[in-house]
Amino acid sequence: MLIGCPREIKDHEDRVGLVPTSVEELVAHGHSVMIETNAGAGIGCSDEDYVAAGATIVDNPDEIFAKAEMVVKVKEPQAVERAKLREGQILYTYLHLAPDATQTADLVKSGATCIAYETVTSPTGALPLLFPMSEVAGRLAPQVGAQALENNGGGMGILLGGVPGVDSAEVVIIGAGVSGTNAARIALGMGASVTMVDRSVNALRAAVDRFGTAIKTVYSNKGNIAAAVANADLVIGTVLIPGAETPKLVTADMIKSMRDGSVVVDVAIDQGGCFETSKATTHSDPTYVVDGVVHYCVANMPGCVARTSTFALNNATLPFALALADKGWVQALKDDVHLRNGLNVHEGKVTYEAVASALGYDYVSAESILGL
């Protein structure tokens, strides 16, 4: 199979879909790989590194989209990229379609076969291709939140960990999954006072087992969320419903109840965000203020630590890329129900139920596409 990897063009997105060692594996399996020049510059991988791994370097993305049988990316294709996709081509990347009607419409129109990292599953029900970026984003969240709490970040001038004689910051983490747990680990390590909110009592028990009495836990309901948010200096939202738009658990009225100079970090913004006042921002312009509260809602948070993120992502995505290339997408999806769950759009049909429901498309199952 001819596989292409273009340079990412989203704002300050320095990750890349394939690292040289992944290219080497694909080539060893008999496949050809095209890499756009300087695609790996942001992670410290040169064109020469890719050539040594067996790739061909091309000068622009047009050749990749025109020739590649499978396009491997990190972030969702931007409008100019979506216009280059074609029927019969495989797109393998993060998509986050449920809150993005425009992207979905373009992918449907393209006729391409679009496999989303974030809905591929594991035998345990986990999301193995989302997991590494959830880890990174969770660990980044207290860090960016701490910067936003500084006066020069627009915040009220609070040091997250405090000092002897002065209270540490009150951090509320909504969601006790992968991102939430990693956010708690870093926030506690920075000396903050941390409260975790979740509707799963088992997840809260797991948090207590992991962090002990250092962490406070609260069952998630509207009243408890409102009380926790009103008392918080920093709220980190990490809620995830696989493939679906994130529910707005923190309302605009709850934001109004927070002190001026407080901060919210919406890790869930890729799926629409869990704060009613959230809107996607970029690394170039990461924050805005609503009712005195600083909002950090960067839609590609892990992109700011591109090297760590890219290698972690490739560790997870490469086995599935090899299956798609070795077997072809039809046989690969027939053989693996978990990879099959990643199919979101195929030849003008929406094949992921949560996306179809969110955006008003007829749902066509992957099984019916494959004749299973």
pLDDT at 240: 84
CA of 209: how far to CAs of 26, 148, 170, 237, in Å? 41, 30, 21, 22
Select which of 31, 96, 295, 346 is catalytic: 96
Select which of 100, 198, 266, 270 is catalytic: 270
Mean pLDDT within 260-283: 95
pLDDT digits (tens, 9 = 90+) for 319-353: 999 999 999 999 999 999 999 999 999 999 999 99
Cα atoms found within 13 Å of the Cα of residue 317, Cβ hemisphere only:
30
60: helix, strand or coil: coil
DSSP state of 150: S
Distance CA 258, CA 200 (A): 25
Q: Evaluate if residue 242 carries a pLDDT over 90.
A: no
Sign, Cα dihedral of 209, 215, 216, 220? negative
pLDDT digits (tens, 9 = 90+) for 85-122: 999 999 999 999 999 999 999 999 999 999 999 999 99
**Is residue 96 among the annotated active site residues?**
yes
CA of 193: how far to CAs of 42, 175, 230, 261, 294, in Å? 35, 16, 15, 18, 19
pLDDT at 243: 78
Percent of the chain with pLDDT over 70: 100
Residue 241: pLDDT band with limits 50, 70, 90 = confident
pLDDT digits (tens, 9 = 90+) for 297-325: 999 999 999 999 999 999 999 999 999 99
pLDDT at 127: 94
Query: Mutual orientation of helices 178-189 and 131-149 as an angle, nearest 10°?
Result: 40
pLDDT at 11: 86
Q: Evaluate if residue 251 carries a pLDDT over 90.
A: yes
Distance CA 262, CA 87 (A): 48
**Is residue 270 among the annotated active site residues?**
yes
Q: Evaluate if residue 245 carries a pLDDT over 90.
A: no
Burial annotation 163-179 (CB, 10 A radius, 16+ → b, else e): eeeeebbbbbbbbbbbb
